[in-house]
């Protein structure tokens, strides 16, 4: 890149190098960065992008006190020692060098390094660790220009924005993971007779979803919605929830409030908001006689229709205070009879096709599966904002 006053620049080879080329490189860099959580890979990406954008002889990472290893793109003949010596000498002798253009006036001093660049740009990545990205060129015909500095500072901003985004994402993921675990544990604690029910429903729903060949994102939703489907029971009186005998009419109406309470709770968590239909409508019936909204047939959200099958399956398999677990032959008969009245007949067809694998599903601890499901939910939420990150970086730079 040479003349900042025009949009067409001449590379030393004589091939035209346009500003469009630099933007294209940065655009590719931004896309690649979005897929990259590892620090070493991020560094590699930024070095390659800067080198390609600036047509620099070499671009290297000076780690300062950071733990990232030295890394270089371009001239393999430059040793890590040379890169270290050069950076430290410039930093010691040129105050305020961050984002400045160092051109042939670069003074090699009385003890010159060999080779000595004709121009260089240093941009600081971390103040606390004193890590830098350094671009150098050795050909007087292709000295860096102001536009090169702009491109390099933009690449830095993109990297720093992305690192900040990754850190926030990890924090949010941990928080959400903890929240889902906490809510699931709270449901279990409220009703010890159904301990582990949420986890089993989640696993049954996922297995059923796989039988239906649903995509991974839907399976994640099924898992989380299964865990949370009864979260509204937190708002139900213990005396009703744990009552071993028949419920009074008033108690029955009270317990039927749990899907609406759950819907309200989940609506407060933006990243899980899309699970609300599964939570609110998992007690609807195909014939419209369910609750709370008395939806009918395909009016019932798909997530809720599938959870209704998984929920009933686990309820019938489990021992309860007032009855023992039903034999699988009895469950088969109930499910078949309820297809088209209580449950979506198409889902029951799939249920019957894989029921031998559904029945043995037993409660286990919440492990990686919930963590992955939370991650997928977050990624879906973040997709829109990440697409805007490069534009934001451009504006900010």
386, HSE (Cβ side, Cα atoms, 13 Å): 21
Closest distance to Fe ion from the beta carbon of 205 (Å): 13
CB of 28 to Fe ion, least distance (A): 48
To Fe ion, the closest distance from the beta carbon of 156 in angstroms equals 52
Decide if 104 contacts 140 (C-beta within 8 A).
yes
* Interaction mask 171-210, Fe ion, x per CB under 5 A: ----------------------------------------
Closer residue to Fe ion in complex, CB, 230/344: 230
Q: Which of positions 213-242 make contact with Fe ion (CB under 5 A)?
A: 230
Q: Report how far residue 370's alpha carbon sits from residue 211's, in angstroms, rounded to the nearest whole number.
A: 20
Nearer to Fe ion, 57 or 230 (CB): 230
Cα(309)–Cα(348) distance, integer angstroms: 7
Q: Give the nearest distance from C-beta 240 to Fe ion in angstroms.
A: 13
Least distance in Å: CB of 307 to Fe ion? Answer: 9
Q: Smaller CB distance to Fe ion: residue 125 or 308? A: 308
Nearest residue to Fe ion by CB is 230
| Helix, strand, or coil (residue 8) | strand
Calpha distance 153→172 (Å, rounded)? 28
Q: Are 178 and 206 in contact (CB under 8 A)?
A: no
Please enumerate in sequence order all residues whose Cβ is within 8 A of that of 192, keeping only pairs 6 or more positions apart, or say none: 242
159/307 with CB nearer Fe ion: 307
Restricted to residues 53-112, the positions that interact with Fe ion (CB under 5 A) are: none
253 vs 392, beta carbon nearer Fe ion = 253
Q: Helix, strand or coil for residue 271? A: helix
Phi-psi region of 50 (alpha: psi -120 to 50; beta: other; left: phi over 0): alpha
Q: Which two tokens stand for residue 329?
A: 């032959």
User: How far apart (Å, rounded) are the C-alpha atoms in residues 220 and 223?
Assistant: 5
Whole-number Cα distances in Å, 298 to 64, 333, 339? 61, 23, 14
Between residues 148 and 230, which has the closer beta carbon with respect to Fe ion?
Answer: 230
Q: Residue 232, CB half-sphere, CA atoms under 13 Å: how many?
A: 23
Q: Which is nearer to Fe ion, 306 or 390 (CB)?
A: 306
Q: Minimum CB separation from Fe ion for residue 186, in Å?
A: 15
Judged by beta carbon, residue 148 or residue 314, the one nearer Fe ion is 314
CB of 233 to Fe ion, least distance (A): 7
Q: For residue 275, what are the CA distances in angstroms to 37, 209, 235?
A: 27, 15, 19
Residue 229 beta carbon to Fe ion: minimum distance, rounded to whole angstroms: 6
43/347 with CB nearer Fe ion: 347
How many residues bind to Fe ion according to rule CB under 5 A? 1
Cβ(360)–Cβ(121) under 8 Å?
no
With binding defined as CB under 5 A, does residue 263 bind Fe ion? no
State the nearest-atom distance from the C-beta of 284 to Fe ion, in Å: 11
Q: For residues 334 and 309, what is the distance between their CA atoms, to the nearest angstrom?
A: 11
> Rounded to an integer, what is the distance from CA 187 to the centroid of its chain?
26
User: Site residues (CB under 5 A) for Fe ion?
Assistant: 230
């Amino acid at each position: 890149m040479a003349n900042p006053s025009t949009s067409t620049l001449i590379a030393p080879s004589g091939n035209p190098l346009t500003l469009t080329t630099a933007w294209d490189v940065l655009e590719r860099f931004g896309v690649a960065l979005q897929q990259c959580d590892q620090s070493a890979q991020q560094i590699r990406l930024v070095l390659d992008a800067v080198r390609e954008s600036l047509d620099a002889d070499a671009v290297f990472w000076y780690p300062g006190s950071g733990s990232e290893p030295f890394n270089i793109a371009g001239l393999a003949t430059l040793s890590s020692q040379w890169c270290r010596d050069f950076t430290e000498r410039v930093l010691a002798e040129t105050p305020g060098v961050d984002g400045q253009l160092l051109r042939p006036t670069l003074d090699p001093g009385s003890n010159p390094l060999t080779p000595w660049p004709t121009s260089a740009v240093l941009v600081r990545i971390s103040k606390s660790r004193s890590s830098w990205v350094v671009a150098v060129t050795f050909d007087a015909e292709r000295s860096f220009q102001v536009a090169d500095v702009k491109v390099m500072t933009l690449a830095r901003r993109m990297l720093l924005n992305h690192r900040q985004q990754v850190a926030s994402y990890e924090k949010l993921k941990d928080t959400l993971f903890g929240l889902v675990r906490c809510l699931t544990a709270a449901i279990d604690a409220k009703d010890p007779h159904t301990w582990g029910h949420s986890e089993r429903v989640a696993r049954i729903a996922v297995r059923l979803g796989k039988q239906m060949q649903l995509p991974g994102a839907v399976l994640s939703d099924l898992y989380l919605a299964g865990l949370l489907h009864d979260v509204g029971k937190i708002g139900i009186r213990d005396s009703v929830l744990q009552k071993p005998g028949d419920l009074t009419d008033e108690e029955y109406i009270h317990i039927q409030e749990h899907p609406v309470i759950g819907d309200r709770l989940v609506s407060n968590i933006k990243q899980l908001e899309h699970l609300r239909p599964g939570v609110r409508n998992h007690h609807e019936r195909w014939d419209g006689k369910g609750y709370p909204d008395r939806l009918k047939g395909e009016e019932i959200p798909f997530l809720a229709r599938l959870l209704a099958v998984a929920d009933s399956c686990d309820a019938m398999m489990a021992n309860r205070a007032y009855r023992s677990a039903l034999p699988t032959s009895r469950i088969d008969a109930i499910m078949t009879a309820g297809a088209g009245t209580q449950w979506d007949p198409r889902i029951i067809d799939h249920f019957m096709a894989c029921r031998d694998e559904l029945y043995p599903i037993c409660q286990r601890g919440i492990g990686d599966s919930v963590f992955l499901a939370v991650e997928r939910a977050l990624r879906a939420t973040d997709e829109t904002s990440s697409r805007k990150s490069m534009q934001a970086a451009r504006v900010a730079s």
